Structures are given as structure tokens and as C-alpha cells.
Amino acid sequence: MHKEILEDIGEKELINRLAKFMPKNQVSDDCAFIKTKHDNLIINNDSLVENVHFNDVTISPEDLGWKSVISNISDLLSSGSRKTIGITISLILPTKTEWVWIEGLYKGINKALKEYGGIILGGDCSKGNQKAISITAFGIQGELELRRNACKPGDTILTTGIHGLSKLGFLIKNKINLDNDISLKKRLISKSIEHFCRPKVYPNFLKNLLKTRSNKKMKRIGCTDSSDGLFQALQDLARASKCKAIINYEKIPKDKDWPSGDKWDEYYFFGGEDYELVFSLPKKWAKKLSNLDKNINEIGFFTEGEPTIEFNESENNKLLNNAPFKHF
């Protein structure tokens, strides 16, 4: 009799099955939420594994340290964290690992914490056959609760920044052959490598949300980040909120030098590790926010219906045949 293995089950189904061992809705967001007497806490954990998420050819130890922090802070921010308290770090390292590699990793970690807040609270070390960095980050819940299941039919879908750049940076760093008919601009190459090695988050995002909110009674909005790609972010929001996402392809913000074509659309929507925020707001709030912050763009809307993603022009729906990133 064939026994199920992770390759058969897949990441999403694995999480669904693990959820049965936890309190209700515990896995609906990347972060865990703990109520305390004073400040409510948001807790996130992210792991980076050698030859799955990184290797010594594609990224330096310092850049890896930076990125390991940003991946966690992005999840905290996408849940409404107003402040990062700190992180714990668990390392799995082969015994032949050079100290200079570890030192570089921690220099990058400290640079990211200095930029976005928080301190190293502690951690754990163990030996293993390949390197792995697991970070648990602690944040304080802000006035607005950002949750995947809070999108509503009629809401406008918005996103920060531009997607696809980190994927392109990854391809360039790995010397993977791109379209031979495409000549990439030096500016785009440099920008993509920076997005892959030193991604950034938006510390003023919550302040701008509050500044443009006219209805003070609104405390919850739908939000996630695009660490697994724009398509996966939209799919997660649609499924958690039980509504359909309609995307306007023409409104998708792209770099001015981004090539056109099916393959480049695939990089854009399914690339991952951009750490942009994907969220929804009532129409008036969305308009005020996008007018205030030009890095935020309206890209579609939610409507009633099956929790799926569609483009407003049917010719673009062929994009949806691509598969998002899989960990197993």
C-alpha cells in the first residue's frame, strides 16, 4: 500500500492537516496572536534552508542575515505590527562552517534590526548536514488588525511596490539563461539584484493607513505579503475571505524596463520573495491611500463568488495555469 509522502501532499495541504492539532483559525495567517494585559503580541517564525532558499553562490552571509530578518518583519507588518520587539535565532550548521560566514550572517541581522527595530533576544545552535536559519520574531499589535480573512466583496485590491524583481535578481545571480531576444538594462539588473539580496519593507505603511482612514470604527482589513509571489498572496486572501479576486492586468505596476511576454508575466506573478504587501480596502479609503502614497497601486477588486482569481480580460487568464512556488 502506497503511503503518502510530503511530495504528494504539498505544503498547503500539510498546513491544513497540522491545523487539526491547533486551536481554530491558528493557521489562517502567517503570524500567531497572543492577547496580554497590556499589549497584544504578534509572533512569526520563518526558516531559510541551504539549497532550498539560499546557497553561497547566490547570496553573501551578510545579505542572507538581512533577508532572514526582513522575511519575518514583513509577516509582522502584514498582520498589523506597530513595533518589532526582537527576534530569537536558531542555527543549524555543519561542523566545517567557517566563523567568518557566521559573523557575516550576524552583521547582516544586526543591520536589518538597526534599520527596522528590534534586538536579538537569544536562540539555539545545533549541528546538521546543511545550513539552516530559523528566526522567531515578536511584534506588538497596532490599532489596525490586518488579517487574510478580512477582505470583503466590493473592496479594492492594492499592492505596494513592484513584483518580480527579486525573481529576476535570483535568475541573474544563478546565471540562469533568460530570453535570448531580451537585452536587459543595467539599471534593471542592478535593481533586481538589490531586491533579491537586500529587500525592504514599508515601516510607514500602518501610519498612512491610519492617516487616510475616515471611519475610525474600522479595525480590520485584509492583508498578506507576497513572499511566495503575487498570485499566491491573492489566492490566500481570496480563500481565507471566501470571495473572488478580479485583477486588472493593465493596472499592475511594473518597472519601466520590465520586458513583455508570457515568461516575464510568469516571473512577475509567481516569482516570490518580493515582500510587498497585498491588501484590500473600501473604495474611498483605497483612493485616499493611493493618492497619499504613490508606491501603492490599485490592481483590482473583490466580489462575491468562488474563492478564485480572474483577470478582467479573459485573454490574461492563461497566466493562472502556472503553479506557485512549492516547498515540497
Average pLDDT, stretch 127-152? 96
Q: How many alpha carbons fall within 13 Å on the CB side of residue 185? A: 9
Q: State percent of the chain over pLDDT 90.
A: 76
**Residue 91 carries which DSSP code?**
E
- Cα distance between residue 54 and residue 63, in whole Å: 11
11-23: per-residue pLDDT in tens? Answer: 778 877 887 787 7
Virtual torsion, Cα 180, 183, 186, 190, nearest 10 deg? -40
H helix and E strand count, the chain: 10, 12
Cell numbers standing for residue 145:
488588525
In the prediction, which pLDDT does 86 show? 97
Least confident span in 18-22, 130-134, 282-286, 320-324:
320-324
Task: Specify the pLDDT at position 255.
Answer: 95
Helix%, strand%, coil% for the chain, nearest 5: 40, 25, 40
Tens digit of pLDDT for each residue in 240-282? 999 999 999 999 999 999 999 989 999 999 998 999 999 999 9
CATH architecture of the domain covering 20-141: 2-Layer Sandwich (3.30)
Q: What tens digit of pLDDT does each residue of 274-289 get?
A: 999 999 999 999 999 9
Query: Tens digit of pLDDT for each residue in 192-219?
Result: 999 999 999 998 999 999 999 999 999 9
The whole-angstrom separation of Cα 263 and Cα 77 is: 31
Give the separation between CA 199 and CA 167, rounded to whole angstroms.
12
pLDDT at residue number 1: 55
The one-character DSSP state at 255 is: -
Query: Mean of the per-residue pLDDT values for the chain?
Result: 92
Q: What angle do the packed helices 61-77 and 186-197 form, to 10 degrees? A: 70
From residue 57, how far is each of 97, 169, 192, 197 by CA, in Å? 15, 13, 16, 12
Instruction: Report how far apart, in Å, the C-alpha atoms of 32 and of each of 29, 44, 236, 262, 298 are.
Output: 7, 6, 16, 37, 28
The pLDDT of residue 180 is: 65
Average pLDDT for 286-302 = 97
| Residue 83: CB atoms within 10 Å | 17
Give the orientation angle of helix 186-197 with respect to helix 165-173, to 10 degrees. Answer: 90
Lowest mean pLDDT, pick from 27-41, 97-111, 119-133 = 27-41
Query: Per residue in 152-180, pLDDT tens?
Result: 999 999 999 999 999 999 999 988 877 76
pLDDT of residue 328: 52
Residue 26: the pLDDT is 67
Burial of 90 (C-beta count, 10 Å sphere; 0-12/13-18/19+): middle
**8 Å CB contact between 44 and 31:** yes
Asked if 108 and 102 touch (Cβ cutoff 8 Å), the reply is no
Residue 325's pLDDT is: 63
Identify the bridge partners of residue 242 per DSSP, sorted by sequence position: none
- pLDDT tens-digit profile of 22-77? 777 666 667 888 888 888 999 999 999 999 899 998 999 999 999 999 999 999 99
Domain boundaries, the chain: 20-141, 145-321
Question: What architecture does CATH give domain 145-321?
Answer: Alpha-Beta Complex (3.90)
